[in-house]
Amino acid sequence: MNINTDLKKQNTYDAIVIGSGISGGWAAKELTEKGLKVLMLERGMNIEHIKDYDSAMKAPWEIPYAGKLTEEQKRTHPVQIRDHIYGQANENWWVNDLECPYTEDKRFDWYRGFHVGGKSLMWGRQSYRLSDHNFEDNARDGHGNDWPIRYKDIAPWYDYAEKFAGISGQNENWPLLPDGQFLPPMDMNCVEKSVKERIEKHYNKSRIMTIGRTANLTVPHLGRGSCQYRNLCSRGCPFGAYFSTQSSTLPAAMATKRLTVRPYSIVNHIIYDKETKKAKGVMVIDAETNESMEFYAKIVFVNGSTLGSTFVLLNSTSEAHPNGLGNSSGHLGHNLMDHHFRCGAEGSAEGFEDKYTYGRRANGIYIPRYQNFNGDKRDYLRGFGYQGGASRGNWHKEVAELDFGGDFKETLSRPADSWTMGLGAFGEMLPYYENKVYIDHSKKDKWGQPVLAIDCEYKENEAKMREDMMYDAAEMLEAAGIKNVKTYDNGCYPGMTIHEMGTARMGNDPKESVLNKWNQMHEVNNVFVTDGSCMPSTACQNPSLTYMALTARACDYAVKELKKKNI
């Protein structure tokens, strides 16, 4: 008996999936369903579906500090508090920045959730396909490298991902936003319907407004319950009504009995075998005991979120790969992108004082990109889409006027007289080689690992676009009869939209890219990367649905190649 051999056998799987968020969950589901024995490694704690959604059923008065953050939470989460995402109701789902530091050569807001499910538990759920126009943009204007795929390559996988995840929405036949396999759409409210009608009429349907396409179920779907309109999604849904690893991909993978999930497992690097020129496994640090251990597999899927995955690859150095695994192109860690937002317009809708809402819809409206397309020409490249919506809020001008007393209290107990309608843009960011991350060995995290340094900024194209993001919104709202329209640009730093992408991009040319058209490393053919790091461009649509489709597609390819013994 050789104990080492036994241990090695015990720690050997067909496939290892690094990360358990949106794309990691999909990889685990697809690979196990295709017969592989899979180990899914997650660096943080376990969160069990429903049982561990501690605040999901809490009433407002049961949330500590009425939802405000304490000074201690601000101390331990100096990055997470920069925007209004980190909140009291799910505060332990956001990373402790002191334990997991990084270096900001320029300000970059890195929002992270380290637990089983990753950001799939807290995501915004907006789910949009990219169009051929998006896949062609890099080649058309020469920024970044050409996408190695076109819409026809991914379309069946969008169908596949949507059918399983359950996306509600409305088909619109809009060239820049392909239709999909949707569950019934959520309703627009009375103000949104009026704004939609007037915008589409004013612009003669050269701009359209549709209900948000969201991974919230409008009808029961594959054993999951439908949305109850509580708008508390980010606490975890006790009805399983939005797509998350926990509600959707994890149960499917577990049902195969071929999945092992190991929480508290920080992947430090991928182990490269120079004889076979393949990855043979991963080195893991147990986050609780600090013990290091190895796991082995025939294929490795890297799904640790864009920058998490990029760290693992950059940290996987060997004689054959001195600058990081599969990085002879020098593009690993480069071309970092994010969307840019916090920019738009809002105003008040008059004439709806006799209307109100019932239920809290965790969704808004969407105006897909129309710029630099079909005769619309701008003085910058690419474009933006809008998310927004109308609501009848609670606050009154009396709050600002420092009123007090019985009448004041009664006023605050009723809704505002008028409705507000807002449009906030999400803009595309161009890929720039010099926007990059690299490993900073001068700093260590809680487990003694070096940290990532981030050097990324928006440039002139984004700045120019922001002008239009404000004024197009204002013009549309005015055309729709909205009053007191005011524009805003609250400023934006990379990282803020939590749509970071691009640091291990796909491409046909191994000299210009890290991954091929199957999300497979050009140089290490049993390693696949299918999270946001694979994206050659950002488009302006929310990207998670594309990660789902690309992951399912890559898993299909990987298993076929494995069976053909090509990897």
Partner 1 sequence: MERREALKKIAYLMGGAISATTMGVLFESFTIYDPEKNTYYYSANDEEILAEFSEIILPTTAKSPGAKAAGVGAFIPLIIKDCYPSNLQEVFKNGFVTMLNKCKTKFNKEFLSLNTEEKNQLIVELKQQAIDTNSEPSFFLLARDLTILGYFSSEIGCTVAREYLPIPGKYDGNVEYKPGQKAWAT
Site residues (CB under 8 A) for partner 1? 57, 59-61, 63, 65-72, 74-75, 78, 81-82, 84, 186-193, 228-231, 345, 353-361, 392, 394-395, 399-400, 402, 404-406, 408-410, 412-415, 470-471, 474-475, 485-488
Closest CB 61 distance from partner 1, rounded Å: 4
CB 343 within 8 A of CB 468: no
Starting at the edge strand that comes first in sequence, how are the strands of the sheet with 210-211 ordered? 210-211, 365-367, 384-391, 419-427, 343-349, 483-489
Closest to partner 1 by CB, 329 vs 411, is: 411
Closest CB 317 distance from partner 1, rounded Å: 36
Closest to partner 1 by CB, 175 vs 415, is: 415
Characterize the bridge pairing of strands 210-211 and 365-367: antiparallel
Closest CB 460 distance from partner 1, rounded Å: 19
Cα 317 from Cα 332, distance rounded (Å)? 12
Cα 355 from Cα 418, distance rounded (Å)? 10
Cα 111 from Cα 91, distance rounded (Å)? 12
Closest to partner 1 by CB, 229 vs 557, is: 229
CB 147 within 8 A of CB 546: no
- As a whole number of angstroms, the longest Cα–Cα distance in the chain is 84
Closest CB 212 distance from partner 1, rounded Å: 12
Closest to partner 1 by CB, 46 vs 357, is: 357
Closest CB 189 distance from partner 1, rounded Å: 2
Closest to partner 1 by CB, 70 vs 374, is: 70
CB 214 within 8 A of CB 169: yes
Q: Which residue has the tokens 């990373």?
A: 95
Closest to partner 1 by CB, 70 vs 290, is: 70
3-state SS of 224-263 is: ECCCCCCCCHHHCCCCCCECCHHHHHHHHHHHCCCEEEEC
Cα 210 from Cα 228, distance rounded (Å)? 21
Closest CB 544 distance from partner 1, rounded Å: 23
Helix (H) or strand (E) holding 420: strand 419-427
Closest CB 407 distance from partner 1, rounded Å: 9
Helix (H) or strand (E) holding 381: none
Handedness of CA 136, 142, 147, 149 (dihedral sign): positive
Q: How far is CA 531 from CA 26, 407, 460, in A?
A: 10, 54, 27
Closest to partner 1 by CB, 267 vs 470, is: 470
Closest to partner 1 by CB, 178 vs 344, is: 344
| Token duo for residue 377 | 């020409």
Closest CB 487 distance from partner 1, rounded Å: 4
Closest CB 372 distance from partner 1, rounded Å: 18
| Token duo for residue 316 | 């996987």
Closest to partner 1 by CB, 365 vs 550, is: 365
- Cβ atoms within 10 A of the Cβ of 359, count? 11
CB 551 within 8 A of CB 303: yes
Closest to partner 1 by CB, 202 vs 230, is: 230
Closest CB 71 distance from partner 1, rounded Å: 6
Burial of 75 by CB count in 10 Å (0-12 exposed, 13-18 middle, 19+ buried)?
exposed
